[in-house]
Each structure stands twice: as structure tokens, then as C-alpha cells.
Structure 1
């Protein structure tokens, strides 16, 4: 029989019983609605209520909770608005995401709840970021992240645990080990005896508990919080069982009957009722039934109201406006008159320094960026100037660092993440396109996150240090994508990105770092992101490009001037938002357009631009829209091979083809 280690009053015992019972009663009703086709899906937490309820009961309202599919008891114990909760599951307009996402894919900032996404373990690094915010400000709260046994095989699980251990963060990770990842039993998921054994390898405290014993859960989480706040993060393995399918449609045919029989005897609600009776805290079945009816009345009116609530109405403008928060640019009372010569890399460093001087909410994370100053020395000297708390080396964990940035941004920090090379951004792809880009559209407040990524070829670095992945992100709304080509733009656009309240991917061409220089003011000038620039005026044809392509185009344009031809060069500067107005004006002026990009041809940024111009400017064209791109092969290492790979090798040929049409 379950038993608390400390005395508990009758009033407290009854309250705890109601908190355990509420999610169970709600679930029973939701399963009926599922059979009636009034909800589309249900992930049942029946039999696991003690973990969610016990953990939430043990924590304070200021502690963050990061739930998964089977943590309904977390929401009910923290006292969320039940009407909105039901509307969320029913896809109604009054739900927490207004019908934009389903089931438990939402968060409630005012309740300190950070919602899940379908990609398991993806919110675990977010807990690290929240915990780091607590540590930096000495706010004395913990972040408590939940996952199932299946998620413990995901890379972000390991990155999150490792980062928590290295940084000694006030974070608690709870594994709800319920025996199966969908249908795969734990015997086929991991080879260690217990999942909690992994805690030692990451320098975390570890606890293995009976997840169906609410008193054991409360005691463990209470201890874990004390340890975590003292610099010792904790991993808790809570053994439990999933009494229904992964979700209702999947069934339970793969589970032996004897397992259900064994775990039915450990049902957390039945055990709690037995304890209530044994301690004389309940008079009998009639009193239990009265409590059950009281719990029913706690939620049934809200459910009835939600069933009658309005469905969302699609408003395209409203939906698109949810992608970005309006930017408020810094204002300066007086212009700075001093100037200095800067290289491209100096301008980026200058911009970062100014922003860090002006706002102590900025911090930067990345590999080798502290004492070493980054592989390109952008952050050289930052550690001495801004301190180790704001200039933070990370382990090699792109996804972990990006997830932590989400947590920091939710707490009001302005994190900057440096990808050592843009090629490595693929390791953080999930965080960028599923957590960061979709966050505000779904439920999050604006995320002021800047991701810096040195990209580009021409330096003989081979296929894994030379890619231009900026186009990968253009089809994911919610991200701003900036690619400067000049020293002035490197300085001002990065500064603008840093203060933009939205997530920005900032690509810096490695070959430009130390190959171009210019005299610029000794203060950054902020501007709204998303404006293209006419880099060179002309009348005979337009070359639309960005980044290194601007320099290729300029060099060629000078040669054609001697032939009496004036080429106009449009520098996009931002791939998202895209300034199609400027593009259209230039195309309408010259009537011929060549689209130049460094990435390979297929599905590069210019593929989209070609479609837009063909659809919107067809009548203004005197020739087909042509593209000049790098080849559809990986970036070669040998300088001779690389030279022929790059778009620059075919630029004159393509331009002549356009002009001769």
C-alpha cells in the first residue's frame, strides 16, 4: 500500500484525491467524444496520473513545466482554464491555439507551461534555456521537463542532459517509463538496465521511483528541486504503465494481457482510495462517490460550453500577421560623426559589441566562442568585455543550443547562437523549423533569437564547410533570413537582426570576412528587415542576387560598361521577407532578368524568385527569366574543381545568352 513519509491532513488528502481524479474523469469523457467523432485524436494518460499530478503538486507556480502527451494532470493541477482547454481539444476558436494546433501542442506563458511538439525530446533543451535564465538572474525557479521512454533515444534528450550537467542548471527531467514507445517495448529501445543509469554519465543526480505512487512522486520531485537549485540537475525515472494505446487508434493488441492485469493492481487512483480508507480519511463508498460527482461538476459545465463554442474562421490577413511581431528599432538622439575602416568581419564584430553594450539581455552561445573567440575570431575579446555568463561556450550541440535559446527568449533574454559553420545548421534543423519558426504562429510570444551562420564557398574548404543553406529555410514561415553583401550591410543588418523581436537567420559569407573593407560610421544604423537595394543602376538588364553574388555581378557589370551596356544589380539582402516590390520595379525597367545565386540550381532561392517573376511580370519581359547557379553537385575541395562548380564560372555565358535573346 502507498503511504506518505509525512503526516497529511484530511483536507490535504481530499484535495490531492480530487486532483488525481479530475484528469481521469475528464479522460473518460473525452474518450466518449472520440467515439462520437467530436475530437480527432486522443493520447491517454490513464494509469499515469500520479506523475503529472504529483510533480505539479510538489512544485511552485513560478516553476516551469514542459509536458508531453500524457500529462493532462499537470494542466488540471496547475488550474488552467478548463473551458479553453476543452476548446483546444475540440479545435475551437477559443482554444489556446485558436484551432492552429491540436491536443497538447500548446503552452500557457502565464501558467509557466511550455507546450510540446510532436518531435519527441525537442522541448528538453528548452528547459535548459529556462533554467539558465533562472540561474543568471538568481530567480530560484526550476524547469521540469517530461518525456516518455521512447524519447530517451532521441539526440535532443542527450544534448539536453549533457548541457544541464555541464552548466549545473536548475532543471529536473522526468522520464515516464510506461513500457512502450508506441508499440516498441523498452527491451528493444535501450540496453542499460534502467534509464536512470544515464544520469551518472551526464553528471546528473538520478532517482528511480514508482510512478504510480503519488506520495513517492511528490517526495522525489521535492528533493529534486532542492538539489537542482543547488546546482545539481536531476533525472527521475518514474516507472508506470500505459493502460491504453499510444493513441486510441493504435490499440493495445501488442501488449500481453498479464501486463494489464499486473498494472491494474497498481492503478494510482485505486491505491489512493485504499490508503484513504485505511487511514480513516474517508467514511466509505458514499463519500467517495460524492467526491467523484463534485469532480464531475468541476469540469462538465465547461465541456458543455466548449461543445457549443464557435469554430475558427479563416482570415488570411490575420493568420499571416501572426508570423511576426512588429519591430521597434532603437532610436538615437544624435548622429555619430566618427568613422573608421572596417573589414566585413570587423563590421559584424562591431555590431555585436554595440548591441551587447546597449542591452545586457544579449548573450551569445556557440562552440569555441569564448576564450578562443570563435573559429573566425568574431567574438575575440568578448569574454573579457562581457563575461563568461554572456559569452558561453557550448558542447557540440547545435540542437541543444538552439533549444536553449528558445527557453532564454521566453524569459526575455536575447540569445545569439553562432553556428561554427553554416553546414552544421542541419544538426539543429528540427529546432529551427519546428520549434522556433512555428512558435509565435502557434502560441508563443515573439522569440528574439539571432542565429549567425558563416556560409559560402570559394575558400577551398570542401563539401562540409562550404555550403550555402540559406534557401533551405525559405519555405518555413516565421523566420527572417538575412544575407549581407557589403561591410555597411553586415554592420547595420546584423544590428537590426539583433533587435528584431523575431527569429532571424543571419548568413555571413566566409570569403567576404577579410577580403572586403570600407569606411563606415562608428554607430550602427537600424532598419526594418526585408528591403532590397539597387546596388548598381542600369537599363539593359537586371541581375538579381545577394551575398557573394553581388560582387560577381559587379565585376562583370564593369566589363560590360565598356561595351555600352549598363546592367542593374538588385541586392536582395533579405530572402525572407522578400522585397518583391523592388524586384518588380527593376524588371519592369530593364525587361530582362538574370537570377544569380551561389547555391546549387535545384530548389535554390532563385527557383522561387523565377516563379514569382514569371507569374507577376510576364508582360514586362523581353526574354525568358534565366538562372545562373552553382552545379547540382556537392562543393568540391580542390580550388580548381571548386572554381568551375561555382555559378561565377557560367555568369558571363548566361548573361550573353540573356542579352542576345
Structure 2
């Protein structure tokens, strides 16, 4: 192995040695603790330390790094206190997740690190988001994100690299090519020989380095970072290396031929660099021995402090409270009484435009949202007022764009992400339910992201442009869900969602866009998230619904005008307003819950169960529900009408009244 120090001083060379030796010695200690059952799991990076250390050492301390589970050297090079790392590994309170996640599944803005989630690929999009925020704020900063060769098979890899190239984002993609994805060799992962072959296809520079040579890695990252600070563009670096232990310790290494271990043992990054320093007389054996003794003492000191740390106290209220970043939900009233007639679609556009005026850090991203104005023309004209930096057309890549939203949140920027149709959110589902929803609970990082979801049937759009899929997200702690039924709420709930620093799924019904008009305030205002609206007071029956269900319920009530019906529009589905529901049920004793979604597994089932459990003694009839058929949404108009619950709501209401 040939080392080229270039212009590095002896002091810098020795510092790199200290930095690469520390994670090796920690790992050796962790393997002992694993056998002693003092930590639950370990993903070893032995043999790959040069990549982590060389990368982190080459960047400025306030430049973000997004490592994976074999990058201990990133955390130690950033000088995270060892006792905090060891507490994190043991699930204790001095760690970074309050015992809620393990190993390197955490982030810390203090040290400018954003850890992975188990799904491997999503952090690539998050890195794009940090890089975009840096670019928009004219910070000359690089961002570096890690991926393994196995993780590169995921769609997130392609999406993130493609967006970074199209948008000229200052991000370094560090690919650790160790030849295996757990037990699956590269020959069964991909057909190409090297990742540098992929760079030109994306339109980005690609470099291959010896990942076991810390100086090669350092120089490559240092050069790349200096380039993209001056001229923002992504760069791919492929670091060739080998994993000397199992994917994690329990998996073993029987699937790896012994000759590979023999070959790569000769290329050990710590041993070879140490021999180089000794040969060049940069360091002596005595100094090495002293350094090892010092590191050992620091490790033991860190373990002692971690041993004195406490495990998290079981406190249900605290667990629930940490789902969201605290936020003042008090509604903002309009400054004047001036109103104008606006359609539902115009109210959304108005709320979005006024939010852009109020929040200069706000960006909208989506397919065709710029010059075209979005397929429903909600952002038409925005590009002239707010510019292309803030009104951003995206490639077809829902996952990367949602990840970018989280990355921008890390840099204190807000984003609205438009799904062209709510149905297409499936392609970004993982980012929403596992990244946006869990980040604040896991490590205190809020996701200041609103996902706009044009939803619903009744427009003859067929199975893939008509789904009501709010229930998919209703089951996910850490998300908020709103669903306005009229222009006033469409504007006020959107502005409130953008004000809220937590992830909000904003559902907007396509069939209401141009069919519903109302007088609404011209000024900026918000509608409180989490508070239902009693549209009509009554004493005989309570109807609980939202979205298009509100209008179907009104029609049924008009046809059965002899009934005194209390109509509740939930408006917010998560968290839903159980207090308002309970008061109404206690008054009427009869309840009909309806939604446009397919009946089985819909939100109405959860609310019905809650009412049965908490209001049973007040009920004079079974809690009844109505929803769409349990089929995909059909295209034919007559079939679609039969699919929807509109005609069945009146019959169910009559049945409930006669019970």
C-alpha cells in the first residue's frame, strides 16, 4: 500500500493516526462487551475505518455527514464524548435517543451528524435536502452521505443521485464497496464492475479510491469538498474496501471465502498506516505505545461514566409528548373582515401564496409545480413571484423529494411537497412513516414538512388517481393529518400546517376544487389543527365525518329534515378531536360515522371502537358506519357512484333513526 502525504504535516499525519486508532480500539472493546451481554448488537467496521475517518477529517466540522452503521470513525472523529456514545449503545439517557433507538440510528445537530434508519437508502435524499438548504442560503458547504454497495440497489440511491445531479447540489456520495450486502456478493447485486461507471450516467464526476488507505480517502474527500464549495455539483466517490467481520456479529462470516480474508488482512488500514508512519519516522513505537495506553484509558473512563448513567424512566406521558416538537396551535385570526368569493382550489392557492410571503424560508417541491403551475394549477404564477429556487419542479422521485424535505428541516427550512395525486405517495411511503414521523421521537429533530395530497373519487379518474388513502397514515404515530371540507378550512388548515414545525399530511379533495365556492377572509389566518367543527347542532343523531362526507351528510340531512342531526366535521384526523365527539354522543345517544374511504380498515372503525369503549352507557343504538365498497375505485361513472357511500348514507341514517 502506497501512502502519499502530499502537503500534510507530521502533526496532521499523527492526528489522522490517532483518529483511525480510536475507533479500532473501541470496536475491540465493544466486541468484548457484546460477549458480556452489556450491549445488544454490534455492526463492526473493522477493516473499513479509513473511509470513515478520512472522510470526516477532510470536512469542516460544521459540514453535515450522514453515516451508516459501520461508520464509528465518523462519530469519534467529530469528537463526540465517548461516554455519550457508550450510553447510546446501551440505551441510556446520556445517549442521543433516550433509549428509543440503538447503535448509530441517531443524529446530533451539535456535531453535524445525521444517522441512518434501518432501511439504508433514505438518508441519501436527506443529504440532498441539507445540500439544497446550503445552496439556497449561499453557504459554501459540502455534505457527505454514505452508502454501501448493497444499499445502492434500492430506488432511493437512484433518486437521490439523479436529483443531486439535476439540481447541482453540493453533496458527496461516498460508496463503501466492500463486496457484500450482508451475505449477498456484489455479483448478485449488480452487473456493472465499479460504481464510478455510474457517475457519468448521472452527469456527475466519479472517483475511485483505495478505501483502506486513509490518505487516499482524505485527499479525495478534501479535493471534492473544495470543488463543490466553490462550484456546487455532486461528486461520487467509490471506496474499495472489505468487511473483516460479519454484517453484524451474530451473522458470522461463513459465506465469505477464506482467501478474501487473507488478501484483505494484508491491507488492514490501521496496521499499514502505522507501518508507514514508523518507516517515515513520523512517529516512534514508544509514542504509539503511549498513545494506545492513553486511548485505552479514555475508553475505560467513558465506559465508567456510561456505567453510572441511568436507563430511561418509564413515563407514558413523556413518550407521547416527544412525538412532536411543541407548537403553539392557537389560531391566527385575519387582520380585517374583508372577504372574497373563492373556490376550494383558489383558497388552497391563496393560503399557499400567503404562506410563501410570510415564510421566506419556505420551498415547494413537486412534479410540474413551476411553469406549468401543477396539474391542478394551484401554483400557477408562483414562479414569477417567488422564483425558481423556491418553486421547484422535481423529477419523478417521491421518496427523494420527501427525504429532501427532512434534510431542509435540519437546516431550519420549511417545505411543502406536492404529490401530483395522493395515490402516488406510495413511492415515498417509507420516507413519511419511518423518517418524517419518527425523527423527533428518536433524536429530537422535527420534520417541518407538509405533504399535499390531492385525493378522492367522483371525477372518473379510475383506480390509480382516486384513492382515499388517509387511513394509511392514521396508524403512524408522529404524523398529523388534516382534511378540509370547504374553502375556509382549505386555506386556514394549509396555513396552519405550514406554521406547524411537525410533519403534516394535508388532504385536499379533487372533486371539491372547482365545485365549491365560499366567502373567505382575504387576509392570512389559520384554523386550529386538532379541533373538530360542529356544522349543525342536533339532539337525535350525531354524524361524524370529514372531507366529501360532510357534503353527502348535508344532502341526507336535507332529505330527512324531520331528524335533529348534529353534524361534526373532524377536519383534523390525527390527532382527532375525541372531546367534541364525546360531548355530542352523550347528547344524542346515536352515532353514524361515514367516510369516503373503503369501509374496512378505515378511520371510522377506530372512532367507532373508541365511542363503544368510552360512551357505551350513553348509546341508544349500535354505532353505525358507512363507507365505500371494499374494491378499488372503478372508472365507469355508474360503477363509481355505486362504489361511493353517497346514496347509502341516507338509508343508514334512516335505519339508525328507526332503531
Q: TM-score interval w.r.t. the shorter chain?
A: over 0.9
Which whole-Å CA distance do the structure 1 matches of 2:302 and 2:404 have between them? 36
Residue by residue, what CA displacement relative to the aligned partner does 1:151-177 show, whole Å, maximum 9, x if unpaired?
Answer: 100011110000000000000000111
Q: Deviations over 1:22-47 (max 9, x none)?
A: 00000010010100111110000000
**Aligned-partner Cα distance in 2 for 1:341–1:283:** 82
Query: Mean Cα displacement is larger for which, 292-301 or 101-110?
Result: 292-301
Greater shift, 206-215 or 302-311, is seen at: 302-311
Q: Map Cα deviations across residues 395-450 of structure 1 (whole Å, 9 max, x no partner).
A: 00100100000011111111000000000011110000000000100013322211
- 1:566 corresponds in structure 2 to 564
Equivalent residues in 2 for 1:54-93, closer than 5 Å: 54-93=54-93
Q: Describe the SS at the equivalent of 1:110.
A: coil
Matched, 1:308 2:303: no
Aligned to 1:517: 517
Q: d(CA) in 2 for partners of 1:604 and 1:543?
A: 16
Please say if residues 460 and 642 of structure 1, whose CA atoms lie closer than 8 Å, have aligned partners that are also in contact. yes
* Alpha-carbon separation, structure 2, partners of 1:187 and 1:177: 12
The match for 1:495 is 495
Quote the residue 2:238 is aligned against: 237
Query: C-alpha deviations, 1:219-272, integer Å up to 9, x for none?
Result: 110121123231321011100000000000000000000000000000001111
Q: Report deviation, 1:328.
A: 3.3
8 Å CA contact 1:474–1:605 kept in 2: the answer is: yes
Contact 1:631 1:646 survives alignment (8 Å):
yes
> 1:640 is matched with which residue?
638
Following superposition, the deviation at residue 334 of structure 1 comes to: 7.6
1:123 and 2:144 aligned: no
The aligned residue for residue 595 of structure 1 is: 593
Greater shift, 469-478 or 504-513, is seen at 469-478
Please give the alpha-carbon distance, in whole angstroms, between the structure 1 residues aligned to 2:282 and 2:359: 56
User: Distance between the aligned counterparts of 1:226 and 1:276, measured in 2?
Assistant: 26
Alignment of 1:569-584 (within 5 A): 569-584=567-582
**Counterpart in the other structure of 2:258:** 257
Q: Measure, in 2, the Cα distance between the counterparts of 1:615 and 1:322.
A: 26
CA spacing shift, 1:335–1:287, aligned 2, 3 Å = closer
Distance 1:525 1:504 in 2: 17
**SS of residue matched to 1:396:** coil
| Contact 1:127/1:144 (<8 A) preserved | yes
Q: CA deviation at 1:290?
A: 1.9
Question: Which residue of structure 1 aligns with residue 51 of structure 2?
Answer: 51
How many Å separate the matches in 2 of 1:428 and 1:138? Answer: 28
Contact 1:2 1:215 in 2 (8 A): no
Matches of 1:314 and 1:231, distance apart in 2: 47
Report the Cα offset of residue 5 of structure 1: 4.3
Any idea what the Cα deviations from partners look like across 1:313-364, whole Å, max 9, x if unmatched?
A: 1111111110122223699798213211000001000101111111211110
Unaligned runs of 5+ in 2: none
1:201 corresponds to: 201
2:482 maps to what in 1? 482
> Separation in 1 of the partners of 2:100 and 2:284?
47
Find the counterpart in structure 1 of residue 433 from structure 2.
433
Cα distance, 1:289–1:609 mapped onto 2, change above 3 Å: same
Distance in 2 between the 1:354 and 1:73 partners?
46
Aligned length: 658
Give the superposition deviation at 1:653.
2.0
Q: Report the counterpart of residue 96 of structure 1 in structure 2.
A: 96
For residues 542 and 268 of structure 2, what CA distance do their matches in structure 1 show? 71
Aligned to 1:365: 365
TM-score by length of 1: 0.98
State the Cα deviation string for residues 478-504 of structure 1 (Å, max 9, x = none): 111000001111111111111011111
1:629 matched residue in structure 2: 627
Structure 1 runs, 4 residues or longer, greater than 4 Å off? 329-334
Cα contact 1:90–1:307 (8 A) shared by 2: no
Higher mean displacement: 323-332 or 260-269: 323-332
Specify whether residues 513 and 179 from structure 1 end up closer, same or farther in structure 2 by C-alpha distance, changes over 3 A only: same
For structure 1, the residue ranges without an aligned partner over 5 or more in a row are none
Q: Is the 8 A contact 1:174 1:235 kept in 2?
A: yes
Contact in 2 for aligned 1:329/1:526 (Cα 8 Å): no
Separation of aligned partners in 2, 1:222 and 1:280: 25
How far off is 1:12 after superposition? 2.1
Q: CA deviation at 1:287?
A: 3.2
Q: How does 1:513-552 map to 2 (within 5 A)?
A: 513-552=513-552
Cα distance, 1:298 vs structure 2: 2.4
Q: Structure 2 residue aligned with 1:619, among 617, 620, 630?
A: 617
Task: Kindly provide the CA deviation profile for residues 65-107 of structure 1, in whole angstroms up to 9, marking residues without a partner as x.
Answer: 0000100000000111211110000111221101011110001
Q: Deviations for 1:49-78, whole angstroms, at most 9, x for unmatched residues?
A: 000000011100121100001000000001
Aligned positions of 1:348-363 closer than 5 A: 348-363=348-363
Deviation at 1:3, TM superposition (A): 1.4
Root-mean-square deviation (CA), in Å? 1.3
* CA-to-aligned-CA distance 1:188-233 (integer Å, 9 cap, x gap): 1000111221111111110011000001001110121123231321
User: In 1, Cα distance between the equivalents of 2:581 and 2:547?
Assistant: 16
Give the alignment's TM-score, normalised by structure 2.
Answer: 0.98
Q: Identify if the C-alpha distance between structure 1 residues 362 and 633 changes in structure 2 by more than 3 Å, giving closer, same or farther.
A: same
Larger mean CA deviation between 246-255 and 494-503 belongs to 494-503
Give the structure 1 partner of residue 168 of structure 2. 168
1:4-27 deviations in whole A, cap 9, x for unaligned? Answer: 241433322221111100000000
Whole-Å separation in 2 of the counterparts to 1:61 and 1:296: 25
Matched-pair contact (CA < 8 Å) for 2:48–2:241: yes
